[in-house]
Amino acid sequence: MKCPKILSLLLMILLLSTGYASAAPSQTLKIAAGDPEDSEMGVVGNAFKEYIEEKTKGDVEIQCFYSGSLGDESECLRNVQKGTLPMAMAGIANLVPFEKKLGLLTLPYLFSNIDEVVTGTNSAPAELLNSYATKSGFRILTWTYTDFRYISNAKRPITKMADMQGLKFRVPQSAVLIAAYKAFGGSPTPISWAETFTALQQGVVDGQCYGYIGFKANKFNEANQKYLTEVHYTYQLQPLVISERVFKKMTPEMQKLLIDAGKYAQEKVLKYQIEQADAAKKYLIDNGLQVSQLEDEDVWKKAAMEKVWPEMADFVGGKETINAYLKACGKPLWK
């Protein structure tokens, strides 16, 4: 009776010694992400992982950690900059403390539509942005598209700027977004992303801003968010960055593989965002979210261009930096 067991054991040893068993990865790279896996960040993380592991036949493993499980976005970015964490995905506003020129992407009404956003995150504009990032210890591999930051709140519909009065909004630690909310008549309160749901649920703030997919993934409809307004003041970009220190230690072949994986993931998330945003919107409306349109968005844009841009220009690198980016995008220069 023992012979079959012995034969099975010998066969297993033979398979292991001749390489037929699955080999362990020779390298593991971690990605930290602030949002849940069923968000745009999850699309990027899974596409990036799929590409790298398929191309290396499992020799390089990508491990994704979602919902801030490795720390909040600012903490993870600090670790990426130091090289103790290989990669992270974070909202663009959280990269600004490390490289102020990237703050130009948070200027209100910089982009009018998704076509302008795509133009501004590819080719020459993307190269310019990456030149800023690499000087601060980061290399951008993917731009995660997560829609315009629509404003939601717990108290009332917002259809004109006057409706912002008396409402407190969670914003990231972004001088530009703080200035924008003040210009729009709201009361901005910087709160870390990890604490946003609780702050909304407990009424510390009345509202926040996010696209439909992220809103649904983070379950903000369960945190008193009853009203949402489609205001197009800023498009939420969430770059996937790798530590420049880590990147420089890699072989040219590995560097190219990571860059190619980043492009693949970016194409995947753009397709996902375009296809799934309407489905997320429908789901939220069906579950009680009231969606409004602005009656006076031209007034919001005027306030942005006349108040926020002049006030924040130096904070994001000056007029020269802004115009260099606008020129790369093929847009009129700011005068």
Residue 10 lies in a domain: no
Q: Is the overall model pTM greater than 0.85, yes or no?
A: yes
What values do phi and psi take at 316, rounded to 5? Answer: -100, 20
Residue 335 lies in a domain: no
Residue 3 lies in a domain: no
CATH number of residue 78's parent domain: 3.40.190.170
- The 3-class secondary structure across 127-163, one letter per residue, is HHHHHHHHHCCEEEEEEEEEEECEEEECCCCCCCHHH
What's residue 8's pLDDT?
A: 53
Condensed to tens digits (0 to 9), the pLDDT of residues 265-321 reads 999 999 999 999 999 999 999 999 999 999 999 999 999 999 999 999 999 999 999
CA 112 – CA 109 distance, rounded (Å): 6
Condensed to tens digits (0 to 9), the pLDDT of residues 177-199 reads 999 999 999 999 999 888 999 99
Residue 18 lies in a domain: no
Range of the domain at 103: 27-329
The answer, yes or no, to whether residue 38 has pLDDT greater than 60, is yes
Residue 188 lies in a domain: yes
Condensed to tens digits (0 to 9), the pLDDT of residues 47-78 reads 999 999 999 999 999 999 999 999 999 999 99
What's residue 194's pLDDT?
A: 87
Helix (H) or strand (E) holding 187: strand 187-190
Distance of CA 292 to the CA centre of its chain: 25
Confidence of residue 146 (pLDDT cuts 50, 70, 90): very high
- Ordered alpha helix ranges (H), 184-313: 196-201, 212-217, 244-248, 252-286, 297-303, 309-312
What's residue 315's pLDDT?
A: 96
Residue 205 lies in a domain: yes
Name the residue type at position 47. A
Which strands make up the sheet holding 235-243, listed edge to edge? 60-65, 27-33, 87-89, 235-243, 138-148
Q: Are 186 and 198 in contact (CB under 8 A)?
A: no
Residue 17 lies in a domain: no
Condensed to tens digits (0 to 9), the pLDDT of residues 77-108 reads 999 999 999 999 999 999 999 999 999 999 99
What's residue 134's pLDDT?
A: 97
Residue 136 lies in a domain: yes
Cα-based distances in Å from 185 to 110, 260, 300, 312, 322: 20, 43, 10, 17, 25
Stretch 211-229: mean pLDDT, rounded?
A: 96
- Averaged pLDDT of the chain: 93
Total domains in the chain come to: 1
